[in-house]
Amino acid sequence: MSVARLTVVIMADVVIPVPGIRSVPLADLDFTVVDVETTGWAPEDAGITEIGAVRVHAGTTIAEFGSLVNPGTPVPQAITELTGISDQMLASAPPVAAVLPGLLAFAEGSVLAAHNAPFDLAFLTAACAGMGRAWPTFEVLDTVRLARHLMATPQEVPDRKLATLARFFGTPVRPSHRALDDARATAVVLDELLGRLADREGVMTLDDLDSWLAARDAEAAAQRAVAGTRDAEPDTASAPERWLAWLLRALRRRH
């Protein structure tokens, strides 16, 4: 079915999770992976130009949603060069107020996921507020945050960018700074990360995941604090001591 002009939704059977979603096994949940393209970096001074979403269950895509969005303002040339989305493409596109209700209906009953979720959610919640509509209380997963704790750097990947993770996991669709393609790639990355959570960490539910993420975030914060303390300490080592420390670090890097 279609929702608003220039919007495409491909639907299959959609599972609506039972009440008590936080204790439902992650493998039994629907996830709606969303991506937005915008005219800038903050919703206070930029608008949405495209929304893409993929609804998945047990790693299988069951529905897709995509629409160009007229932001009501010109698209900066730098954004057009990055995304390929131009003012001409958006001239007849629907405004966000015509597209967002379809997205919210599409995602109903699922867990939202995105790569760098705070960015996408900031624009979507601002658009909701602009319509005078309350944002639904979705559970949200951020694949950047998951990858930060599940992907070793630099042993596996040099960073946790979507393009890097998509290349590592061999996603069929590569990120292109277009919303639906990026959502498709993120959906595959999400499935791989959820697999690591279950196999390596024994994380099976959203409640498990919250506890696990809180512990990993605390560990990372403690490590940063220790590193900061070391950086702040005056270097009182003699030249031979500094040379020996450098040599030991170099030997450890080789092994």
pLDDT over threshold 70, residue 6 = no
pLDDT, mean of residues 153-180: 97
Q: What is the pLDDT of residue 228?
A: 77
For residue 242, the model assigns a pLDDT of 55
pLDDT, position 74:
97
**What's the pLDDT score for residue 221?**
92
Q: What's the rounded mean pLDDT across residues 204-227?
A: 93
Question: 103 or 246, which is more confident?
Answer: 103
Q: Which of 26-35, 56-65, 105-114, 222-231 has the lowest mean pLDDT?
A: 222-231
> Residues near 44 by Cβ (< 8 Å), separated by ≥ 6?
126
Cα separation, 138 vs 128, in Å, equals 14
Model confidence band, residue 250 (pLDDT cutoffs 50, 70, 90): very low
> What would the mean pLDDT of 163-185 be, rounded to a whole number?
98
pLDDT of residue 13: 56
Which residues are CB-neighbours of 114 under 8 A, at least 6 positions away?
A: 33, 34, 35, 120, 121, 140, 141, 142, 143, 186
Mean pLDDT, rounded, for 66-78: 97
**Rounded Cα gap, residues 206 and 216, in angstroms:** 15
The proportion of the chain whose per-residue pLDDT surpasses 90, expressed as a percent, equals 79
pLDDT of residue 1: 36
Cα gap 187→34, rounded to integer Å: 9
pLDDT computed for residue 127 by the predictor: 98
What is 175-230 written as a DSSP string?
--S-HHHHHHHHHHHHHHHHHHIIIII---BHHHHHHHHHHHHHHHHHHHHHHHHH
pLDDT-based confidence at residue 61 (cuts at 50, 70, 90) = very high
More confident: 112 or 223: 112
Residue predicted with more confidence, 2 or 55: 55
Residue 227 has what pLDDT?
A: 82
Place of tokens 């790569």: 115
Q: Residue 78 is inside which H or E element, if any? A: helix 77-83
Compute the average pLDDT of residues 105-111: 97
Region 211-224: mean pLDDT is: 93
Mean pLDDT, the chain, integer: 88
pLDDT at 141 over 50: yes
pLDDT in tens, 10-51: 555 555 554 589 999 999 999 999 999 999 999 999 999 999
